[in-house]
Chains A and B, each alone.
Chain A
Amino acid sequence: MANPATTTINDASNAWHVRFNDTLVARDVDQYLALFRDDCTLQINNAIPTYSKLALRAAYRRHVASFRAKSYEIIDVFGDGQKSSCEVLYTFTCHDGSTEGVQCSYVVDLDEAGLIRSIRIYGNGARVFKAFMHAND
């Protein structure tokens, strides 16, 4: 769901974030990885970054295995077609059927071909992922 309260970005760039999040929640690894460069970097907060599409494949598989479903609502988008930031609310359906929300923000750099060169994700998913781990026990 695209619901930007305040935005300074153009429609095409905003559409990129909708497409990215549609792909993110679709749980299709190949479709998701198609958005990234081979030498991409993904970093969550101050954790060690995940480098390369190969490493990202394994990380994304672990991610989607930890919940039953995921939806999103975009709150804000800032930036331009190559460098932008998106504030978003993700709602997870856990394996035990409960739902949890995680509000976060990511900053993304795209290359000339529109592929993700770098994405940095900021927020606190500990509460919800703790619940996932519990549900998976």
Chain B
Amino acid sequence: MILNLRIKQISPAGADWLSHYLSTVEARDPESVISLFRDNAIVQINDGVPVQSHTAVRGLFQRYFANFEHVEHEVLNAYGSETELVAETLCHYTLASSGKRITLPGVTIYERDDDGLIISMRIYMGFVGMFEAFDAAAATVPA
């Protein structure tokens, strides 16, 4: 996880939490990630149908980790408070299927409750390069 923040960014405590969250995701253990979410947390990707509950979010991360052999985040900007924040991030992925590396930029908005657990997480990102990489990997699989 690379925290590459410039001036006028989030507080040190907010940056610490963000760093902890992203490092936990990079460790690829679904249960550790889920422990950072409230039971009824909502996760939404772009304007897709939101998923809600630990069970649904666990499923989301299990599929995520199955697709990627390695994930590294590079945070470019982070604004907001410790409980409500936004991070603009470069996501460096290594696809599990091919080993191919792709980098996609995106924005994630986090809302946390008084216990510090994530209530809502909304991810905005274009997946054009990612799907092209999947297609290329699939094309190399023998019939």
Q: Nearest-CB distance from A99 to chain B (Å)? A: 13
Chain B interface residue count, CB cutoff 8 Å, equals: 27
Which A residues are within 8 Å of any B CB, using their own CB?
6, 8, 44-47, 76, 78-80, 82-85, 87, 101-105, 107, 120, 122-124, 127
B76 to A: closest C-beta gap in Å: 8
Which A residues lie within 8 Å of B139 (CB)?
none
Across-interface contacts of B88 in A (CB, < 8 A) = 85, 107, 120, 122
Contact A103 B46 (CB under 8 A): yes
Question: What is the total of A-B residue contacts with beta carbons within 8 Å?
Answer: 91
A70 to B7, CA, bound (A): 34
Set of chain A residues within 8 Å of B77, measured between Cβ atoms: 83, 85, 107
Closest B-chain residue to A44, C-beta based? B126
In the assembled complex, the Cα of A85 lies from the Cα of B124 at a distance in Å of 12
| B108 CB to nearest A CB, Å | 9
Q: List 17 A-B contacts (CB under 8 A).
A: A44-B126, A45-B104, A45-B106, A46-B103, A46-B104, A47-B126, A76-B84, A78-B80, A103-B46, A103-B122, A103-B124, A104-B124, A107-B86, A122-B105, A123-B125, A124-B47, A124-B48
